[in-house]
Amino acid sequence: MSMTQHFKQKLSAVALGSAIALASGSASAYNLYNENGSELNLDIEAVVGTFSSQENYFGKAGNGSDWQEAYLKAGFSGSHQYNDTTTLYGGLNFVSSGSWGDGDPAANTDGSERRTAVEDAYLGIRSGIIDVSAGRQNITIGDGFLINGDALNVGKGTGVPGFAESRGGAYWLAGRKAFDETFWVKIGGEQGFRSDLFWFKSDNLMQDNAEMAGINVEYTNDIGTFGVMHLKGLDANQVAADRKGQTTNSVRYQGNAGVENLFLSAELVNQESGSGVDADAWYAEAGWTFADVAWSPQLSYRYTKYDDTFDSLFFGFNRGYGTWFQGEVAANYAGPFGSSATIQHVALKASPTEMLSVGALYFDFSDSTTFGSNSEGQELDIYAEWVVNDHLIISPLIGLYTPDSNNTTQTSSNDDNLYAQVIAIVPF
C-alpha cells in the first residue's frame, strides 16, 4: 500500500482524525530487509512549521512573534519472528530539532534552540496476547487526555537552566515524545478485555522528571471502548507540580453506542496530589457525521471542566486539532493549560475530497485562574489537512483569539490576536 493510499483510507474512515496525528508510525518506514521472519526498516520523518502571532503572552516583550520550528526523526526499527506466536521487536532513532526567529509568543523558546539526541530506544517481545517492552518509548493511554507521551518541548526562553539541553525547542511540533525509561506490559487483543501495566520515568525538567506507574483496563465491544485507569506518582523533582505521591483515577468511554454516524467520548478523573489536595476534571463530547450530505460534514460539541488545582499530566495532540490542545493560541501560549477552566467547544469538519479535509473550531474559556492568571476568552480556528502525495502533507491554520476584558495572560493589550501557522510533514 502506498503512503497516499494509507492516508486516503485514514482520512475517509476516521471521523475525527487528523493528518498530523497519522503522520508517524509504519507509514514512514522504508523496508531494508525482509526474509526468514526477520525485518529491518529505515524510519524517517521530517516536520517543519512556520508561525505568526500578533500578540505575546506571560510577559514576553514585544508586539507579537514570528518563528519557525522543525525536527527530523531518523532511525531503524525491526522484528524477528521466532514462531507463529512469538516476535521480538525493537527500535532505535534520533531526533534533531530546532527553533528559529523570535521563538514562540509565550517565551517557551527564544529561537536559538538546536539539539540532536536519541529519541526511541526500546526492545519488546510479543507472544500470543502478551506484549512486553522496555526502554525509551512513547506511552499513550486512551485518547491522550492524561497520558500521551513526554511531549512538552521547551527551550531557553523559559529562563530555567537545563531546558535547552533537555528538550531542544520546537515547542509546537514536539518531536520528542518518548519517556526516558519505561516498562510496559500489554495484555489482550482488539475485542473484549485488555489491559496495560506500565511504569515510566521522565527526563523532562518541565514535567518534574516525574516517575509514575499505573494500570489501565479496557473492554471493547460493538458499542465502544470502556476504560479505567489508576496512576500513582512515585517520585518527582517538585519543581512545577506536587506529583510525588499523587494518585489519579479515571473512567472513560469512546464509541458510537451502536449508531453508525454517532461519536461519543467522555472521561471523568479524580486526582489527589502528594500533599492531599483533591481535584477533578471531566469532559463529555458528542458528534454526528452527516454521511449522506456532500463532503460528509462532521459536527461535534464538547464540554470540559478542570478544577483549580488539577494537574493535566502528560496530555497531548492525539485525535486531531482540539485534542487535547484546546485552541491553538489558548492551549499553547495564552492558557488555560489543562487546569482551572471551563471550556465549551464546537467543531465542524468536512472532506471535499478523500485527500483533503477542512474544519472550523470554536472555543469559549471561562472560570480560569491558571497559574494565578485569568486566561478567559474565545478562540476561532480554521484549518485544512491536505495529503498532497506520498511524501508531503500540508496543514495551514488561521486563528482569532479574543481575550476577555479581565484576561491577564496577554502581554500588551486586550486586542484580538490574529494567529497563523503552516505545518508541512514529509514522510520518506
Reported confidence tier of residue 28, pLDDT bands at 50, 70, 90: low
Average pLDDT, the chain: 90
pLDDT digits (tens, 9 = 90+) for 289-300: 999 999 999 999
Per-residue pLDDT, 242 = 86
3-state secondary structure the chain: CCHHHHHHHHHHHCCCCCCCCCCCCHHHEEEEEEECCEEEEEEEEEEEEEEEECCCECCCCCCCEEEEEEEEEEEEEEEEECCCCEEEEEEEEEEEEEEEECCCCCCCCCCCCEEEEEEEEEEEEEECCEEEEEEEECCEECCCCCEECCCCCCCHHHCCCCHHHHHCCCCCCCCCCCEEEEEEEEEECCCEEEEEEEEEECCCHHHCCCEEEEEEEEEEECCEEEEEEEEEEEECCCCCCCCCCCEEEEEEEEECCCCCCEEEEEEEEEEECCCCCEEEEEEEEEEEECCCCCCCCEEEEEEEEECCCCCCCECCCCCECCECCCCHHHHHHHCCCCCCEEEEEEEEEEEEECCEEEEEEEEEEECCCHHHCCCCEEEEEEEEEEEEECCEEEEEEEEEEEECCCCCCECCCCCCEEEEEEEEEEEC
Per-residue pLDDT, 15 = 29
pLDDT digits (tens, 9 = 90+) for 164-185: 456 888 999 999 999 999 999 9
What are the residue boundaries of the structural domains of the chain, listed by start? 3-427
Reported confidence tier of residue 420, pLDDT bands at 50, 70, 90: very high
Per-residue pLDDT, 292 = 96
pLDDT value at 2 more than 60: no
Q: For domain 3-427, give its CATH number from 3.40.50.300, 1.10.287.3510, 3.40.50.920, 2.40.160.100.
A: 2.40.160.100
Mean pLDDT confidence for 113-125 = 96
